Amino acid sequence: MTDTFPAMLIRDKDHLQAELTTLKRSDLPDLPVLVRVDYSSVNYKDGLAVSGKGRIARRFPMVPGIDVAGTVVESASPLFAPGDKVIANGNGLSETEWGAFSTYQRLKPEWLMRQPDNLTQKQAMAIGTAGYTAALCVNQLMAWGTIAPGEGSVLVTGAAGGVGSYAIALLAALGFNVTASTGRPETHDYLASLGARAFIDRRELSEPGRPLQEERWTGAVDSVGSTTLANVLAQTVYGGAVAACGLAGGPDLPTTVMPHILRSVTLIGVDSVMAAPRRREAAWRLLANTLTAGHMESVTAGEIALADLPGAANDIFAGKVRGRLVVKVA
Ligand code: NDP
């Protein structure tokens, strides 16, 4: 490896915008596994961190980036050897631990998973945290046991985003009848190609509604939160469940207990960052066994370099990115 290499760095709490810089090998944290970061991706959270619009970093200086696909260069852990292909996401990367937007990074072995055999590094990052979170949601809904392929409709909100796109692809490939809620009608063909069978305009869900509404969804994956999630809960069938993972529409939840106490509706909270290894592995297994190369290709919006990250963050907030941006790091 070279002794100096490019990385994005957030300098301190008064300079939250990440800048392209050059790091030295000795700048990296003292952790057991040295990884060359081959690919990463741009999640909503990365947009917040890189632009400084959200206080993601809690320690400074900080290298942002929550998704790593890399190759082990050196390992003081018996679990990994040089040449191993690994992936990592969450576990405090970009918050309290240095993350993916650096050509080399040192990581703890317990944050690393072997790259699934049937995925390339680029495909793993086209999936990234968004796809992995969608898979956590789908696994949770299926474990809850009230949705079944071919029975009723499952709703996906924030459909044209990263989590939404993969939730649709997974649910449709598993045989569920998927309805997509999106604010971008121009994405209908794309969402239909992923498997969505019906569409609703996201404005239908964004105005406050009655606590109990017509029962429409056997289950839902929600990455929007706020009034949207309140309406989704109010429209979920008796005994149904909603997996909520995001707040693209806001962090509040203006709802009542009515769907829960009168229709036995369950709200399942899904966090990807600290998810137990058993859940992580099950999610990646679902992704590797269910998605096709065509899915990953359709969802990938493009490939960018480290230097393009600030512009990509702005595009995410402007709602210009459909699906996922992959970052070629090394
Ligand atoms: P994206 O930016 O790719 O997608 C978000 C989508 O939400 C947009 O494409 C849009 O869908 C919809 N949306 C955006 N703004 C609004 C709004 N004001 N009202 C209603 N809908 C809106 O983000 P990701 O898919 O990567 O992430 C989605 C959410 O999930 C984020 O809040 C993110 O922080 C969260 N998340 C949480 C994780 C966890 O561990 N719990 C892990 C990963 C993500 P459309 O254009 O179709 O209308």
- Whether 280 has a pLDDT exceeding 90, the answer reads yes
135 and 107 within one domain: no
- Ligand 1 pocket member 270 (CB < 6 A): yes
CATH code: domain of residue 194: 3.40.50.720
Evaluate the CA torsion angle 154, 156, 159, 162 in order and state its sign.
Answer: negative
227 and 155 within one domain: yes
- Whether 111 has a pLDDT exceeding 90, the answer reads yes
Name the domain boundary from 247, 269, 291.
269
104 and 143 within one domain: no
263 and 133 within one domain: yes
- What is the pLDDT confidence band of residue 267, given thresholds at 50, 70 and 90? very high
Q: What pTM was computed for the model?
A: 0.95
140 and 103 within one domain: no
279 in any annotated domain:
no
State percent of the chain over pLDDT 70: 100
- Whether 83 has a pLDDT exceeding 90, the answer reads yes
Task: Say what the pLDDT of residue 320 is.
Answer: 84
Arithmetic mean of pLDDT, 189-214: 97
Instruction: Read off the pLDDT of residues 301-327 as tens digits, 9 standing for 90 and up.
Output: 999 999 999 999 999 888 888 889 999
Task: Say what the pLDDT of residue 180 is.
Answer: 98
Task: Report the nearest atom of ligand 1 relative to the CA of 181.
Answer: 47
Arithmetic mean of pLDDT, 81-98: 97
- Ligand 1 pocket member 183 (CB < 6 A): yes
204 and 250 within one domain: yes
Task: Say what the pLDDT of residue 229 is.
Answer: 98
178 and 59 within one domain: no
231 in any annotated domain:
yes
78 in any annotated domain:
yes
Q: Whose CA is nearest to atom 35 of ligand 1?
A: 246
166 and 71 within one domain: no
- Whether 274 has a pLDDT exceeding 90, the answer reads yes
Q: Tell me the residue range of the domain where 306 lies.
A: 4-115+299-328
How many Å lie between the centroid of ligand 1 and the Cα of residue 3? 38
102 and 11 within one domain: yes
Instruction: Read off the pLDDT of residues 24-50 as tens digits, 9 standing for 90 and up.
Output: 999 999 999 999 999 999 999 999 999
Structural domain count of the chain: 2
Instruction: Kindly indicate whether the ipTM for this predicted assembly is greater than 0.90, answering yes or no.
Output: yes
